[in-house]
Structure formats: structure tokens, C-alpha cells
Structure 1
Amino acid sequence: MVHIAVDIGASSGRLVVGEIKDGKMKIEEIHRFANGFTETEGILYWDIEHLLTEIVKGLATAKLLGYETCTVGIDTWAVDYVFIDKKGNRLQEVVSYRDKRTDKTIEKVTPTISKKLIYEKTGIQFLPFNTIYQLFEEDSELIKKTDKIMMVPDYLGYRLTGIAVTEVTNASTMQLLNVDKRHFDDDLLDIISVKKEQFADFAEPGQELGSLKKEWFPSYDLPDCKLITVASHDTASAVAGTPGIGEDWAYLSSGTWSLLGVELDKPVITQLSLKDNYTNEWGVFQTYRFLKNIMGMWIIQEVRRNLPEDYNYPKFVEEAKKVEHFQQFINFNDDRFLNPPNMVTEIQAYCKETSQPIPETAGEFAACIYDNMAIIYAIALSDLEEITGKKIDCLHIVGGGAHNELLNQLTANISGKTAYAGPTEATAIGNLLLQMIAANEVANLDEGRQLVHKSFDIKQYMPEFIDRNQLISRFREMIGKQFSL
């Protein structure tokens, strides 16, 4: 059986074909397309119709390549949503989580219900763009006209099959689900004037969604497709595709965002996890992704966009190796780096404000970014061990960031953990694994991870000697006494 992962991130999407041959998973990208938000009248929007069209084009490509039948699973980023009316029509453009409309919304909500109580109910970390805060800022009259609120991947599946669901791994990021009841929390829905009935029924990863309505796309010659509801939050798929074996490992899904955490059988909701802003997102097969959201490759992506001369990412690494490291200490999780007009000048302004050397060259910017990301990863790993009581011996780095050998080695050095990098396509692989499990080609997640381990190249990084404690202390000192990631 052939399976196709539709994997869409903030900057691009692709369709990846996967199947098991000779006891290994083989994958091939067959279609790639650009993604991004655009600004209209001061609001940042995704082009959801573009994404749908590109999915269909990719499926037509699959048919041209000779794939007559297949299963399909869709994963995207989290928190963003679509409003549809009773006729199934979309009511507005899809606002991007990077829009500034929710910058101060947490402060508007918490006088009504405390952060402590929200966290006890949901176990989800506080981020200004969580769905609860986006919906709080929505037009109340528009919400009244809405029949169903769908997360982005659920909407795309709906447009292909006509069947609406609320997939749980993505839904958990809304900060609206009660972790004990495993359903929407009535108190939180009341705050945003939304009803439970405005969401479709829950679907678990691995559940069949429905068949592709080929007749809805008469301009394309499409294969016979059965859609599977996979872990539609891309991080959930990436964790599913992480080749961790045993219980002493953590994961780092390294892409536009860095998601660093451990997989648990039950949530951890304590004063310390609240203080350190760790989240309990729902994972596959009733697991929890206890993790920290850390600003990721977005920083270097934006620096690349803002520098006058174009550098590819291997060139950034090459240039970073030429300069002196650990000259600046910056908490890139600060909200000021979420979506500044110019990342280059924002970093320079931060360094000037804190009386640190100001980076000027591409190598200095890259070293500054990679150094601080590695320090933040190391601190987050230490916090994970303290909060969970779980000893972590190794870190599995997956996603596009696993290509960055310099950052991987820095992370191993400063954390003191052995790092394993790969596979870089963990999100698509996890998406495919869920389809393979649904098709009874793979027995369970453990067997699937063993399959991943033997199917893809994984590079090991052993910690090298470095005064990691001094670096971390210096970082904390520069960030301030009220340090928090």
C-alpha cells in the first residue's frame, strides 16, 4: 500500500510518498509548494485556498507517477482555525498566529479567570497566539454565524472529503480542552462566547476520515484516496516519527519553532511546570507531549531575509565557525523576537540596550543565534529533568534543524547530553507511520519507531568539554534575575 503525507509548515508544504520495501520505510517527495502569510489592511492571513489547490495538484502528480490508490494524511501547524457556516462556506480569511491582534490578550482574559486555573484545567502553556486568545478577539457577531470552527488541517480534510472532525493533537493546542475530562472546558468556552456544538466530534490519530471526493475537482485526474486522520499537529507527527527507544530520551523538533520535550503517559501539571511555562499537548495513542515551545529557525530565517546579501543555511554555519562564540546572551523566546519588522535591527537593538557586542556580519549573527539556542535548549532539558523527575540521557533532534551540525554539537556540549540528529523528515515520517498503523502494516508505535531507526541515517554527537555551567550562569545573569524561558 502506498501512503502520502501532506506536510505543511509556515513557509512551505510538500507531499511525500511512503511505503515499506525490504523491511525499511522508503520515502520520496513528489510535490513542493510555497506557503506564507500576507498582510491585508494590517492583518496577517494565510491563503487557505492556495494550500487546498496545491494538495490537489500534488495528488494529481501522484496519479501521473502511477499511484492509482493510496491513503493520505494531512498535518500542519497548530492553533489557527477556520470558520464555516451551515452550508459549509468559509466565513473569513484565516488569520495567522503571528498577527499582533493577540499581543495583549492574555492580560485581558486573566482578570476573569486566573492563569493558574487555566493551566490546571488545560495543562497548556501560555502563548499569546493560543486559539483561546484568538477567539477572544474575534467579532462576536461572526462567531454567532459560525456553524463549525475547524483547525486548519481538519478544514483541509473537510474540503477533500466533506467530513468534519476535530483531531485531538491539534485541538489540545487551543488551550480550551479540559485535560481531566478530555473534552472542551465549559468555563473557558463561556469566556470566548463559543459553544461546544460549534466544534465537530473528536477524532484520534489513525482514525479513517473518508474518501477523496474526486468529483469535486473535475479539472484534475486524481487517484482513489482514503484520507486518514493522522496526528494533524506537525509536532505530534514529528514526535511520532522520532526514533527514540526506551524511556531515557527527549526530543527536539527543530524547525521554524523548536519544540523540546518528553513523551509521557500522563500530564504534569504543577506549580513548577506552570512557572516554567511547560505544556501538556496531547500526543498519539493517549500520550502527552510535555514540552517547551522555543523560538527556532525562525530567527535565522528572518535574519537571512533581512540581510542585504543572501546566505543559504550551510553558508551561515560556515561563517559562524569563523567568529568568536558566546559574545552575546539573548533570550530569543522574548516576545520582541516573535515577528519584528526587521530581525537584524531587533537583535542589534537588544544588544545595544544590554551593552553587549553588536553583531554586524552574517557569521556573527549566526553564531549569536546558534549559541543562544543551544543554551536555551540546555536549560530546558535541565528543567525537564527537574519537573518530571525523569533522567534524560540523550536528545533526539529531528526536523530540518537536524541538518545544522554546528548547532547539534553546541547543544550536545552545553547540555552534556548525547545528541542524535535525524531523520530530518520526521514530521512526514510520523504522518506516514500513523497511516501504516491504520493499514495494519505496522503493529504499533514502538515497532514504527524501530522501523524509522533502521530506515534512515542518524548522526551521533557526543558532548565535548566546555564550561557549560559558566555559560549558563552568564546567560541567566545577562537576561536578568527574573529569568524565564
Structure 2
Amino acid sequence: MTYHVAIDIGASSGRVILADTSNGLTLTELHRFKNGFSKIDGHDRWNVTQLTEEILKGLEKVKAAGIDNCTIGIDTWAVDYVLLDEEGKLLAEPVAYRDARTQGVMDQVFAKIPKEEVYSKTGIQFLNFNTLYQLYAEDRDLLEKTKDILLIPDYLAYRLTGKKVGEVTNVSTTQYLNIHSRAYDKDLLDVAGISGDKLPELIETGQVIGQILPELYDSYDLPQAQVIAVATHDTGSAVVGVPATTDNWAYLSSGTWSLIGVENDKPMATEAAFAENYTNEWGAYKTYRFLKNITGMWAVQEIARMLDYQYSFAEMAEQAYQVEPFLQYINLNDDRFTNPDNMIEEIQAACRESNQIVPETVGELVMCVYSNLALAYAHEWKVLERLTGRELEVLHIVGGGSNVKLLNQLTADVIGKPVVAGPGEATALGNIMVQMLTSGELKDLKEARHWLSQNQELSRYEPQPIADRDHLKQYQKTVF
């Protein structure tokens, strides 16, 4: 099998990407579509009915490109779910994780089961939109009518194949999988008021889900295709798509958010990890993504928006090159930067309040953000080394942020270790690599990553003396 289709859907858009692996690797984006939630019946809801139609349109384009046979993998965002009735039909479009219904719910859950016990069972970080808290807040009347609860990528696979399964990399984000038994945790489900028989059979990354339903061919011109359970959580696929060729590496999945961590073969649900709010999301092939969610390119995106997008991101970075780095120390992970009315004014106010140089120009503002992102990465690098008890050798930066050369170099400078940047399409590539492993084109994950490193252009950044380690010490002193 040399044709594979990655269906990669994020919070704002989705893509259907064709991979031809007959001679190296060729990627072609055949279909792109918008995604988003809207207010329906008092809640922010996704339109998964439309997402299903867009997937089928994309697969028709695969067939139109002359591809008669392929495999398919689907990855999306995490935690959100659908409720299905006895006939397998949607009871309602799914509520989005940003909906306000989970406000204050975590405290209600912790009144029934201690927070420390939840972490010791699951090893998962605490986010108020985790599925555990969404289900606790779910409409009880709807739950009474519910036969099956499926996460978003599992539901989309069900619409294609008729098979109801739960792929573990995504299901682990729910915070009701037990890391010790690798099964649903009954105590946590009882707290959420959910019967375990409503949840699907768990399957591992790489398992075949099934063929496209015969009846879909009556309405759509589709290729013959086998749907494979890739790492269905997009971060899980991105980590598969890290082109690591050594044994002691860390990754940074860089986009609007940054996810920095290591890949472990065992979970680390320790008191120290709990204190640092590190998560143990399940990875492909029974690995664990031991990582921390921190801010990413959000502040730069907001600066661009405040300036009515009169500068491209490349132009903003070019102006930042003209500015000395590390002139300010601010905590970009502070709540004040989560969604301010004006990001530029908020950054300036933070600097003014702490008697630091106030950035005024585009270049000064962007260098302020990049410098503090690099320092935040360096701080978590040290935390990772402390928690794992090992000295890390190289940081792989993947995702859209891997294209920001200035930030890559600053990061290498402050961590004092090489940075390897790329690929920017790590999520889609990780999706495709799992399909190739299942079809037998690649032997194991180690070989797959080596293959990827040979088929992608990567950039390496060596640490320079522009930023000695005193900058990290001063950042930590100022921020913490």
C-alpha cells in the first residue's frame, strides 16, 4: 500500500492530505475546510455533521485524483464527545470544550474524590474542560437517552466504518482512564454519573478499525479504503512525527499553544509531577507523553491582529532581529495574557508595572515575546530534567512554530543544547507514519522516525553565547 490519507482536523480548520510513499514521500493537500463552534441551544457546539460531509468530499477528491485504494487515519482535538441514541444517531451536536458549562465543576468533583487521588489514578493534568468534568456537567435527560459516548475522531471513524471504538491516545485525555490497569476507572465514572457500558471498547494505536461502509458508495464516489486507528489525538500524532534519531530527546509541539515533554515507556504520576501539573497522556504503541501545556505563538498572533495584520509573521520576525533579546522578563503564561482586550497594551502594562523597559515598536514587542517564550521553554526543560532524572541532549521543535528561526535560535541559546526544527507538518506525518506501520511499510516507531528524518528538510540550531544562563535565572527570579 503506497497511498495513505491523513484527515487532520483542528479547532479552526480541517484538511484531507494524500501521501504517496511509493518513492520517498510526497504530500498533497486535496481538501481544506473550515471548522468552529457556534451557539446552539445555549451552548457552544461543533457541527460534526458538517465535518463528516467534508471528510466525504475530501475522499471523493482522493478518488478523483486517480487513487482507487488507500488507507485512512483521522486525528482531531481532544476531550470533546458525542452522544448517540439506540440507533446510533446523534442526540445533539457536541458541546465544545470552551463552553462555560464546566465552570466550577472541578471543585464539585474534588468534593467527592480528592484531587490527588484523581491524579494518582490517571496521571492527567487538571483542565476544567477535561471530559470527566464535561460529563459531570452533562444534561442528565440526554444521558438517559444515550447508548454510546464517542470522542470526536472515534465518532468520525464510526461514520465511515460503522465500528464504535475508543483509541487510547485520545481517550487518555478524558481523565477517566486508569494508568495502572489501562482501563476505564469505575470510581471516576461513578463520580461523573456515567455507566461504563456507554463507553466503547478501547483499542491501541495502529489497529485496523474497518472498511468504509458499502452504503456510503451509493451516495459518494469513494476509493476502496481501510480506516486505521492512528494516534487520534493530534498531539499524539505530532509526537509520532518527531524525527528523533537519538535516545535522549525532548519535543516541543509549537503552535498557538506549546506542548513540551518527553516520550516515556512508563507513566510518571509522582507527587513532584503532580505539583508541576505535568500530564501523562498515552502515546502511540504504549508510550506516554509526559508533557506540560504552556503558551505558544498566541501572543504574536494577537499582536498581529491588533495591528490589523499589516505585517506578515515573517516581517514581524525580521523586525525583531534588529532588537536586543532578553530586555524584559514577563510570564506569558499568566492569566492576564490568556485573552486580553489588547495584547500589545497588556504586554506594555506588565513591563511598566515591573519597572522594565517598555516595548513600543513591532520589533520590540515581538522580540519581547520570543525572548520570554524561549525562557519559558528553558524553564520547563530544567523541570523535565529534574522530574525525569536525566540530562536531555536535544530539543525537537515540530509544528507551525518550528518555522520561526529566531525563536529556534533563542531557545537553543538559553537551554544550552541543540534544537532541531521541523517538520512543520508533524501531525499529518505522524498520522501517515502509523498507517505505514500498520500496512507493513515500516517496521517499528524507531525505523519510522529515521525514515522521516531522511525524507524531511530539518534545521539544526547550535547554542550561541548570545544568551548565557543568567537570563534564565533572572527570568525565574522575576516570574516565580
Say whether the fold is shared (TM-score over 0.5).
yes
Q: Cα deviation per residue 1:384-419 (whole Å; 9 max; x = unaligned)? A: 111011221101111111111111111111111100
SS at match of 2:44: strand
SS at match of 1:226: strand
Misfit runs of 4+, over 6 Å: none
* 1:477 and 2:472 matched: no
In structure 2, how many angstroms separate the alpha carbons of the residues matched to 1:170 and 1:358?
42
Structure 1 284/357 Cα, relative in aligned 2: closer, same or farther at 3 Å? same
Structure 1 143/354 Cα, relative in aligned 2: closer, same or farther at 3 Å? farther
Which residue of the partner structure matches residue 19 of structure 1? 20
Which residue of the partner structure matches residue 44 of structure 1? 44
* 1:410 and 2:410 matched: yes
* 1:160 and 2:182 matched: no
Aligned-pair distance for 1:369? 2.2
SS at match of 2:442: coil
Which residue of the partner structure matches residue 274 of structure 1? 274
Please list, as runs of the form range in 1=range in 2, the aligned pairs for 1:44-443 lying within 5 A after superposition: 44-213=44-213, 215-216=215-216, 218-340=218-340, 342-351=342-351, 354-443=354-443
Contact 2:379 2:476 in 1 (8 A): no
Question: What is the RMSD of the two structures over their aligned residues, measured on CA atoms?
Answer: 2.1
Aligned-pair distance for 1:355? 4.9
Which residue of the partner structure matches residue 453 of structure 2? 453
Q: Cα deviation per residue 1:119-159 (whole Å; 9 max; x = unaligned)? A: 11101111222111222222222222222111111111111
Aligned-pair distance for 1:340? 4.6
Q: Cα deviation per residue 1:42-97 (whole Å; 9 max; x = unaligned)? A: 64332222322221111111111100111100001111111111111212222222
- Using the size of structure 1 for normalisation, the TM-score is 0.93
Instruction: State the identity %.
Output: 49
Equivalent AA in structure 1 for residue 22 of structure 2:
K
Structure 1 27/136 Cα, relative in aligned 2: closer, same or farther at 3 Å? same
Equivalent AA in structure 2 for residue 373 of structure 1:
L
Equivalent AA in structure 2 for residue 297 of structure 1:
M
Equivalent AA in structure 2 for residue 19 of structure 1:
D
In structure 2, how many angstroms separate the alpha carbons of the residues matched to 1:106 and 1:324?
43
Aligned-pair distance for 1:475? 2.1
In structure 2, how many angstroms separate the alpha carbons of the residues matched to 1:475 and 1:393?
22
SS at match of 2:171: helix
The unaligned stretches of length 5 or more in structure 1 are none
SS at match of 1:95: coil
- Return 377-386 or 136-145, whichever deviates more: 136-145
Q: Cα deviation per residue 1:326-348 (whole Å; 9 max; x = unaligned)? A: 34433333344444555445445
Equivalent AA in structure 2 for residue 143 of structure 1:
L
Structure 1 94/370 Cα, relative in aligned 2: closer, same or farther at 3 Å? farther
- Using the size of structure 2 for normalisation, the TM-score is 0.94
SS at match of 1:125: coil
SS at match of 2:299: helix
Structure 1 161/350 Cα, relative in aligned 2: closer, same or farther at 3 Å? farther
Equivalent AA in structure 2 for residue 3 of structure 1:
H
In structure 2, how many angstroms separate the alpha carbons of the residues matched to 1:44 and 1:350?
32
Aligned-pair distance for 1:31? 1.7
Equivalent AA in structure 1 for residue 12 of structure 2:
S
Equivalent AA in structure 2 for residue 21 of structure 1:
S
Aligned-pair distance for 1:291? 0.8
Contact 2:76 2:232 in 1 (8 A): yes
Aligned-pair distance for 1:269? 1.7
Equivalent AA in structure 2 for residue 11 of structure 1:
S
Q: Cα deviation per residue 1:206-234 (whole Å; 9 max; x = unaligned)? A: 11111112533645321111111111011
Aligned-pair distance for 1:36? 2.7
Q: Cα deviation per residue 1:253-295 (whole Å; 9 max; x = unaligned)? A: 1123211111111011211111111111111111111111112
Aligned length: 479
- Return 293-302 or 205-214, whichever deviates more: 293-302
Equivalent AA in structure 1 for residue 17 of structure 2:
V
Contact 1:98 1:339 in 2 (8 A): no
In structure 2, how many angstroms separate the alpha carbons of the residues matched to 1:426 and 1:397?
10
